[in-house]
Every structure is written in structure tokens, then in C-alpha cells.
Chains A and B, each alone.
Chain A
């Protein structure tokens, strides 16, 4: 369930002044964890990895929530932390495997076929592989717009990229995916 700006403030106030911050945080978890999980999952692809990143993300949020100044909406702040955690996770994985990010993304696309937590049909699989063929930033923008339905202004706050650049990225990403899917499904 999405919280209004007022509800976010009220929740933050209770977290900072109440005598049971753990309970307020559990409430926050209930509001955000599904959306945050799917955001992370679309970046790291594997459920096990997404689970790890989700834990780290909420632990980080727990540690920093008290110092959150409310300069942006709470959910964009949370998404920013989740995005950073997920990208940093991928970066570490790439370094550990000593391969390029493109190679890693290709491997992630291949791993979907064998994944216990992916049951998409062939078209869905090809679509996901097409998304994974995009450069990291374009992939991020595409997922946030196409699947998560975020507004460009919200994405601007989360990613720190201008609305114009985000629109261009999304347009370019859509065209590349279209070409990839057509080429793969027709071959």
C-alpha cells in the first residue's frame, strides 16, 4: 500500500519520538518491502541475491532512518538506497567473477532458464534477456518506468538524472528491446 506524504511524515515522527521504533519499522517494512523487493529483483535477477540485497537495504534503512531529514519523499529515499545496494552487489559479483558487466548480464539472462523462481513463457524469457542486454543505466530506467510505473520526476529524485535524459534513455531502451525481441523470436 502506498503512503501519502502526510502518512510518511506521521510514520517518521512516530519512529523518532515513539518508544517502540522496532514496531514502527515493521510497519514501514509492510508498506514498502514488496515494491522494494521487485525493484531489486529486476536488477539482480536471482531470488537468492535479491533476498540478500533486500536484507542489507532494510538494515541500512533502519540504521539511517533516524537521520533522514525529509528533504525528499520517504519512498524515493528508500528506493535510492535499494538501487545503490543492488548496483553495488552486481559490481562486487562482477569483480568476483572477473568478467565485464555485459558478460555478467548475459549470464544472468541464461540463468533464468534454469531458475526455480522464474516460470515465464518463451516470449517472457526473451523479453527479460532483451532487457538484460541493455547497458546498466538504460536497464534501470526501463524497469522503473515499464514495470514499476514510476514518474520521470520520481526517477529523477532516485537516480539523480535529469528528466530529459531519462526520457531519452527509456525511448532508446524500448527500441533496442523491440529489435532484440523481434530478431530472437523470428529466428
Chain B
């Protein structure tokens, strides 16, 4: 028997000696688990891993929900899709300032040019007029005729003053800047 084996044997004897009394105790029973606990646990964990998630009770702490509430749950608030509006620099500002005056002008002009035109224009909604303004270039002549020559001139000059600053900035960057 080698020294190592003798040492190991002595160690084992020490261990046996250490818990000899405990192993001689007349113990019965001990810890238990609920029936089929391990089988249920395997199913529960497998379901979790497969992203099925545990089934939630229909009632928690006295609070209840209508039958099949969660199954039938749908968002009731319509989700509005974001709309990217492409602005030309300062055009929207101009449109805001000129909208009232221009609308008034159209009405006055239509009064002067006949009742049929007036009835056609009056049938336009405000939204349609705004859409028109957003998509159409202003006619300088038309605005001057409406008495907005000076204002239009000023606006054009302001645009020109700002233009060098905006040179080289892409339309996407401007849109992003405006949309915040």
C-alpha cells in the first residue's frame, strides 16, 4: 500500500467517524414534494421555453374580467399612420399668412365675376383650399390683384435671404428638422 493510499484510507476513516453517529440515527420520512410535481414542472418549463407562457387565471385577488375578454381584446383606438409632409422652405409659413386673405379675395372676386363662380367656390371646403395651397404655386399676379403685392414681395425677399443658409441641406434633412 502506497503512502498516498494510506493517507486516503485515513481520510475516509475520519469521514466515516465524523458522521457515524448521524448515520446511526433512527430517522424516518423527511421532505416531500406534491404528487407529480416533477412531471408538471417539466411541462411548465417546456411551455415557457416554447413561448406559450403560463395560463393566467381569469380572476386575480377578487378582480374579474368578462368571459373571453383577453381572447377578444382588440385595440379600440385607431392607430393613425404617420404621414411625412414634404414642405418647401417657408412655403408653409407663407401659406398660413396668406390663407385668410386669399380666401377672402377669392370670395370677393367671385362676387365680381358672377354668381355661378361664387356658388362653385363656396362649395369648397377649407381642407380643399389648404390642399390646393400646399400643392400649387402661388400666382404672383393673382396675389397682386388681391392687394397682397407688398407682402408677397417681402416673403420672396425673406426666402432669398435664407436660401444661402439652406443651400446644401437636403430636403429629407429639412423635413426631419421641421417634423422635429
Contact = CB atoms under 8 A, between A and B. Distances in A.
A47 interface: yes
Contact of A117 (B27, B32, B48, B49): B32
A118 interface: yes
Contacts of B29: 118-121, 124
Q: How large is the interface on A (under 10, 10 to 19, 20 to 34, 35 or more residues)?
A: 35 or more
A178 B32 contact: no
Q: How large is the interface on B (under 10, 10 to 19, 20 to 34, 35 or more residues)?
A: 20 to 34
B154 to A, nearest CB: 65
Nearest to B32: A117
Interface stretch (A3-11, A21-29, A91-99): A21-29
Given A22-B49, A37-B38, A170-B15, A124 B28 contact: yes
Nearest to A172: B18
Contact of B41 (A22, A25, A33): A33
A182 B46 CA distance: 46
B46 A127 contact: no
B12 to A, nearest CB: 11
Contacts of B48: 59
| Majority secondary structure of chain A interface residues (helix, strand, loop or mixed) | helix
Contacts of B31: 38, 41-42, 47, 117-118, 120
Nearest to A146: B19
Contacts of B44: 55
Interface in A44-80: 47, 51, 54-55, 58-59, 62
A123 B26 contact: yes
> Chain A CB within 10 Å — which of B19, B28, B38 has the most?
B19
A174 B15 CA distance: 9
B28 A121 contact: yes
Contacts of A123: 25-28
**The 9 A-B residue pairs with the shortest CB-CB distance in the complex, in nearest-first order:** A174-B18, A124-B27, A120-B29, A119-B29, A121-B28, A117-B32, A120-B30, A174-B19, A22-B49
30 contacts: A26-B42, A29-B45, A29-B46, A30-B42, A33-B41, A33-B42, A42-B31, A47-B32, A47-B33, A47-B34, A51-B37, A54-B41, A55-B41, A59-B45, A59-B48, A117-B32, A117-B34, A118-B29, A118-B30, A119-B29, A119-B32, A120-B27, A120-B30, A121-B28, A124-B28, A170-B18, A171-B14, A171-B15, A174-B19, A181-B21
